[in-house]
Structure 1
Amino acid sequence: MRKVVLGKSGLEVSAVGFGAIPIQRVSHDDAVAALQRAFELGVNFVDTADSYSDSQRKIGQAIKGRRDEFVLASKGGAGSKQGMIDQIDNSLVEMGVDYIDLYQFHNIGYAEKWEQITAPGGA
């Protein structure tokens, strides 16, 4: 699979990534099998979020022992610094990893939420 550099991050990712929201709707075994098949096809970029129910645990199982082969992206929607720290910590535990390569704000649908996040003490 062709690789591209993700923006200015320097991270080299597969041109096609694996968006993990759908795997919350299938069994653990089916989700892990889908992820492993994507990996066999050259996918190395996986995107998830703390709000995608058990998708992070399924990802963790699929990449167990192979963390350095993948670029993991996750997202959180907490409005406070501590809330965001808690969401990141939870994602690390759920996936069984020591780091997440890319962490993004999630579901910022209105100006007040953006102001909360960017205010002093915000996320």
Structure 2
Amino acid sequence: MEKRVLGKTGEELSIVGFGGVIVVDESAEDSARHVARAVQRGVNYFDAAPGYGNAEIMLGPALEPYRKNVFLACKTGQ
């Protein structure tokens, strides 16, 4: 997976991200499976937002094994 540096942060992010909306209303097991597949394919950029229903709740445990290797962006607001 191709990666690019995020601004001046030095963080190298995959050019393809995982939108948290994918795990809305999924089971914990399915959420973990989706995240694992993405990580196996080189995705390290994950995105969540309050408007994505329970995505933040589902992504937390699913990302736990990968926390040191992924970047999680969380939007705020309405």
| TM-score interval, normalised by the smaller of the two chains | 0.7 to 0.9
Alignment partners' CA distance in 2, 1:63 and 1:22: 14
Instruction: State the AA in 2 paired with 1:69.
Output: N
Structure 1's consecutive aligned runs of 4 or more residues displaced over 6 angstroms after TM superposition are none
CA shift, 1:38, in A, is: 0.3
CA shift, 1:53, in A, is: 1.9
Alignment partners' CA distance in 1, 2:65 and 2:25: 25
Greater strand share, structure number: 2
Structure 2 length-normalised TM? 0.83
Alignment partners' CA distance in 2, 1:30 and 1:67: 18
Structure 1 length-normalised TM? 0.56
Structure 1 counterpart SS, 2:50: coil
How many residues were matched structurally? 78
Which residue in the other structure is 2:57 paired with?
57
Identity of aligned residues (%): 38
Structure 1: runs of 5 or more not aligned:
78-106, 108-123
Alignment partners' CA distance in 2, 1:69 and 1:5: 14
Between Structure 1 and Structure 2, whose CA radius of gyration is higher?
1
Which residue in the other structure is 1:5 paired with?
5
Which residue in the other structure is 1:46 paired with?
46
| Larger relative contact order, structure 1 or 2 (CA cutoff 8 Å, min sep 6) | 2
Task: Output the aligned Cα RMSD.
Answer: 1.7
CA shift, 1:62, in A, is: 1.4
Q: Which range moves more in the overlay, 33-42 or 55-64?
A: 55-64
